[in-house]
Amino acid sequence: MRWSHVGLNCADQVRTEEFYTRWFGFRRARAVPIDNGEIVFLRRDDAYLELFPVGGRTGAARGDGPPEPGTIRHLAFQTDDVGAFLRTMGDAAEVTLGPLGFDEAIEGWRTVWIRDPDGVVVEVSQGYRDQEREGHDHV
């Protein structure tokens, strides 16, 4: 198990990305299209932030975490095999969403979201990779 990222809900995704790139040295690692825009992955060394567009939307928690702007949506970890991880957890895994596959974005990307004992949503994924950028070194 390896640390992956913190998912952040953003009232203004562009401003949030500019803030973390300008002041904290993050760079855009990948953008994944979704229904209401895109999810932006920012990276600095081995630390990632996953930025979700939420506009003024509020409401009940979804399976991948609460949707309110200015909140942490979820914590995330990477594993080599989501299925094996879930089998190891057994009945202790309170799955809130998934497992889901995201092969349309990255071949082999699989994710499940579970709830910790205090209700925090924890994402566990396999297969995420940064986007290749022409003219830049792939990390």
Domains located in the chain, CATH noted? 2-126 (3.10.180.10)
Convert the pLDDT of each residue in 35-75 to its tens digit.
878 999 999 898 899 988 885 444 445 788 888 887 888 88
Contact 5, 50 (CB under 8 A): yes
The pLDDT, as a whole number, for residue 58 is 46
Looking at residues 2-31, what average pLDDT do you find? 88
Residue 139 pLDDT more than 80? Answer: no
How many Å apart are CA 21 and CA 123, to the nearest integer?
A: 24
pTM above 0.75, yes or no: no
Output 139 or 104, whichever has higher pLDDT: 104
What one-character-per-residue DSSP string does 45-111 give?
A: TTEEEEEEE-TT---S-BTTB---TTSEEEEEEE-S-HHHHHHHHGGG-EEEEEEEE-TTTSTT-EE
pLDDT digits (tens, 9 = 90+) for 73-109: 888 889 999 999 999 989 989 999 999 999 999 999 9
